[in-house]
Every structure is written in structure tokens, then in C-alpha cells.
Amino acid sequence: MKRIKAISHAIFVMFIFSLSARSCGQEDLDILAPMEKAEQEALYSTIQGFVGDSWNGSDLYPDPCGWTPIQGVSCDLFDGFWYVTALNIGPVHDNSLSCAQDLEFRQHLFELKHLKSLSFFNCSQSQYMFPATIPTGNWQKLAGSLESLEFRSNPGLIGNIPSSFGVLKNLQSLVILENSVTGEIPSSIGNLIKLKKLVLAGNYLTGRIPDVFDGLNELLIFDLSSNSLSGSLPLTLGSLTSALKLDVSNNHLEGNLLNQFANLKNLTLMDLRNNRFTGGLTLSLQEMSSLEELVLSNNPLGGDVRFLKWENLKNLAILELSNMGLTGEIPESLSELKRLRFLGLSDNNLTGNPSPKLETLPCLNALYLSGNNLTGELSFSKDFFGKMGRRFGAWNNPNLCYQIGLMSSSHVPYGVKPCQKEVNLLESDSKTELINGDMNETFHFIASKGFSSCATNGFWWTFLEKILMMGLFLSLI
């Protein structure tokens, strides 16, 4: 009897366990998987270097991959053990790891052999009090796993971009954004053939852009803006055939625009503003039919704005060509860009009269033509001026005017004078009108006395007419 009860008890326990397993599911069972001791020690030491030795993970059960994970640490199972796959340092979320002032990159970081993503956000705050530098060695230990490496908004992060980044053969995203990194861009970046995002913007990088991008066929985002880069654009930029965004604005770049731009058939944004490019617009621009935003302002390019077939760029929504020394009349072909929302042509040497066809653009909500040599009368309707309001700019065009009475005072284009005749001409016309009126009255008076106002034959009548007209004219002066 006791044996039967024991068997029954064992069956009951197995039944309860099976129910528990079903209710918890495989995900909860995975939480109970162990973390390899060496992995945990490497992780804890790495985190302490970033957030301070006071952090020890004692409140995490059973580890950072268990029931009480910390925001910013992600894990995955490999051969039944937890390994760290993502480590995000900085105040991204409320319970994220907060950085210590004296940020330290410890060598244990490179022992996290399955690490796929590493990012630092708003950590090192002062390059004078507590500067930090990106480590140069041991990146080869992460070459097989690391796919994303990002440093965002760390003003205390100084030093150069390590050339050893070139060993990260699986890297897909390299972002070094708004830090205090200096020096030149290492040519080893050309080795990152799986790269999809390259953002090195908002630093103090100098020197030329290396001509090493011919192997980056998968790159989608290329952003080197807001640095102090110089020299001409590298020809291998034309090899970025998958690129969607190309931004090198706010640098000291010079030379001509590339003919190789014609190869960038997928590009939707190109921003080259605030540089020193010369040589005029290039025909390669009109081959970039996918462009939605083209910004070239504040470059001394020069040349005739009519050089391009603008109608080819059917997808353009933003076209900014201000302060470029452009000449010629505003092309009517711009009126064929039916998706255009912003058109900036200010501070050039454009001439002629703006085409009223620009009014037909259905999406246009900002048009800036100020600071040119435009002439004549603005032919846009009052509805157009009412719709645009202050988003229409045409000031500093001395010979441009608007029609009086066409619109209410609230819709008058700012800085544009009303069209009117010259004052001297108006005074002359009023005097002529007054003389003619008085002469008609005089001849009517003469005719009422029995003289024919139409009889101009005879010496005495002609002489009398001259005397009357001279006297009347003198009385008006």
C-alpha cells in the first residue's frame, strides 16, 4: 500500500511540474539558463569601468540576463549559456546605465565574444575635466561579432578615430556623432565592406576625405557633415550606388562637383551646403532622378541656373540653391516639379521676371527669391500671395514690384515696392489733362459766341488760337 502511495505521489509531482512548465513557457525556462562565469565577470568589470566601481550587479537575479535585466544589456543563448549581445551605455531609458564622469574603457570589454552592438550616448561630458579616448587596440577580438558601434553626443570624447576599426569586417553601422574627435578619417574604413551606415558628423575632423569607398556597395547613409574637412570630393563617392543619403555639408571642401554623381541612382538626399565648391552646376545632377532633397546653398559655384534640365528631377521636394552666384532667368522647367515644397533661390544674380507658372506647383509652400536682380511686375495671383504669406520672399530686388490693389495689405510681399508711374510723368500727365480740359471749355465758349471751333483756316483765326493757348498755359504755371 505504501508503495502505491509513493508511485501516486511521484505521478502527481510530475503532473504539477508539467503544468508549471506549460504555464511558464520556454521563455521563462530560458531565463533560468546560466551565464558563463567568465562572461559575467567580463561584463561586470566592463560596466564598472563605464558607470563606476560602486555598481556590482548584486540586485540582478540571477544575472543581467535573468528575471531582473538592466536596460541597455541584451543577451542571447549560445550552446545553452547566456552571452551579452548588446551593451548600451548612457541615459537612453529611465533605468539605463548612467555613465561615470571618469569613463574608462577596460580591456574586459573585448572578452565579450558575442557582442553585436556597443553604443555610448551622452556619457563623457568634459574634454577638459574628464576626457576619454576610444581605445585603439584589441578590436580584432570583436571582428567576428560586432555589427554596430556608436558614440553619440559625448563632448568629452577626444582623440582620433582608430585605424584598427578597419578589422571589424562584419560592422554594419559606424556612428561617431557630435563628439570632440579630431584628426583625419582613417583610410582603413574602406575595408568595412558590409557597412550600411557611416556617420562621422559633428566632430573636429580635418584633412581630406580618403578616396577608399569603391568597395562599400551596401552603404546607405554617408554623413561627414559639420567637421573641418578640406580638399576635393573623392571620386569613389560615385561607387556608393546603394546610397540614400550623402551629406558633407558645413566643411571646407572645394573643387568641382563630381561627374560621378550620375551613378547615384538611388540617392534621395544630397546636402553639400556651406563649403567652397566652384565650377558651376554639373550635368550629372540631372541624372539623379531619385533625389528628393538637393541642398547646394552657400557655395561659390556660379554658372547659369538654366544649365540643367530641372524637369528630370521629378521627385524633388526641397531645392535650396541660395547664395551660389547663379546667373540667368529662373527656369520655367521648375514648374514641372509637382512634388516641390521648398524652393530657395535667394542671394544670387538671377535676372528677368519670375514665371507665374511657379504658382501652379501644387505642393509649394515656401518660395524665396530675395537678393537678386529680378525685374518687372510680380504676376502671381492674390490667392497665391495669401497662401504663401511670409514664406514668400522677394525683397532686395530693386526693380521688382507688385500690382497695387491686387491684394489686401496683409498679403503684400515684404520688401517689394508697389508698381506705379514716376512722379514727374504723373505731374506732366495731370497738367496736360488740365490744359486739354480748359481748352475744351474755351473752344466751347468761343463756339457759343458764333465762331466755329473747327474752323482752323485763315491767318487771324490761327493767330488767335495761339494767343489763347499761350495765355492759358502761362496762367497754369
The string of pLDDT tens digits covering residues 187-246 is: 999 999 999 999 999 999 999 999 999 999 999 999 999 999 999 999 999 999 999 999
Average pLDDT, the chain: 84
Q: Which of helix, strand or coil describes residue 28?
A: helix
Cα 33–Cα 38–Cα 44 angle in degrees, nearest 5: 90
- 69 or 319, higher pLDDT: 319
pLDDT at 32: 63
pLDDT at 421: 61
Res. 62 pLDDT band, cuts 50 70 90: confident
CB atoms within 10 A of CB 445: 12
Cα 193–Cα 198–Cα 201 angle in degrees, nearest 5: 155
CATH topology of domain 84-418: 3.80.10
* Mean pLDDT along residues 406-433: 64
Query: Where do runs of H (alpha helix) occur along 32-162?
Result: 37-51
Q: Which residues does 427 contact at the CB level (< 8 Å), separation at least 6?
A: none
Residue 344's closest CA among 367, 378, 326? 367
| pLDDT at 394 > cutoff 80 | yes
pLDDT at 96: 77
Kind and range of the H or E element at 305?
none
Contact 248, 272 (CB under 8 A): yes
Query: How far is Cα 398 from Cα 306, in angstroms, rounded to an integer?
Result: 23
Question: CA-based Rg of the chain, rounded to a whole angstrom?
Answer: 38
* Mean pLDDT along residues 376-380: 94
| pLDDT at 454 > cutoff 90 | no
Lowest-pLDDT choice from 146-155, 298-307, 454-463? 454-463
Query: How far is Cα 199 from Cα 151, in angstroms, rounded to an integer?
Result: 10
Q: Domain residue spans in the chain?
A: 84-418, 429-476
- Read off the C-alpha cell for 364: 509649394
Lowest-pLDDT choice from 85-89, 101-105, 390-394, 418-422? 418-422
CB atoms within 10 A of CB 467: 10
* Mean pLDDT along residues 79-100: 87
Beta bridge partners of 247: 223, 271
Kind and range of the H or E element at 413?
none
Q: Which residues does 450 contact at the CB level (< 8 Å), separation at least 6?
A: none
Res. 94 pLDDT band, cuts 50 70 90: low
Query: How far is Cα 455 from Cα 55, in angstroms, rounded to an integer?
Result: 118
Contact 160, 130 (CB under 8 A): no
Give the model confidence (pLDDT) of 138-188 as tens digits. Answer: 999 999 999 999 999 999 999 999 999 999 999 999 999 999 999 999 999
Residue 362: asked if its preceding bond is cis (omega within 30°), the reply is no
pLDDT at 57: 83
Contact 69, 62 (CB under 8 A): no
Residue 89's closest CA among 37, 26, 157, 166? 157
pLDDT at 306: 96
| pLDDT at 249 > cutoff 90 | yes
- What single-letter DSSP state applies at residue 341? -
- Read off the C-alpha cell for 284: 550629372
- Read off the C-alpha cell for 425: 510723368
* Mean pLDDT along residues 269-275: 98
* Mean pLDDT along residues 350-359: 96
pLDDT at 13: 39
| pLDDT at 436 > cutoff 90 | no
Contact 246, 216 (CB under 8 A): no
Give the model confidence (pLDDT) of 105-148 as tens digits. Answer: 999 999 999 999 999 999 998 888 999 999 999 999 999 999 99
